Amino acid sequence: MTAMAEAQNRPLRLVALGDSLSAGYGLPANAAFPAVLEKQLRAAGLAVEVANAGVSGDTSQGGLERLDWSVPDGTDGVILELGANDALRGVDPAVTEKALDTIITRLKARDIPVLLTGMYAPRNLGEAYYSRFDAIYPRLAQKHGLVLYPFFLEGVAGDRRLNQPDLLHPTAEGIGVIVQSILPTVRRFIATLPAKS
Q: Which residues are catalytic?
A: 20, 166, 169
Q: Are 84 and 21 in contact (CB under 8 A)?
A: yes
d(CA 185, CA 197): 24
Nearest Cα residue to 60 out of 126, 116, 128, 122: 116
- Across 69-79, b (16+ Cβ under 10 Å) vs e yields ebbeeebbbbb
Neighbouring CB atoms inside 10 A of 121's CB total 24
Q: Phi and psi at residue 99, in whole multiples of 5°?
A: -65, -45
Show Cβ contacts of residue 56 under 8 Å, excluding neighbours closer than 6 positions: 19, 20, 23, 25
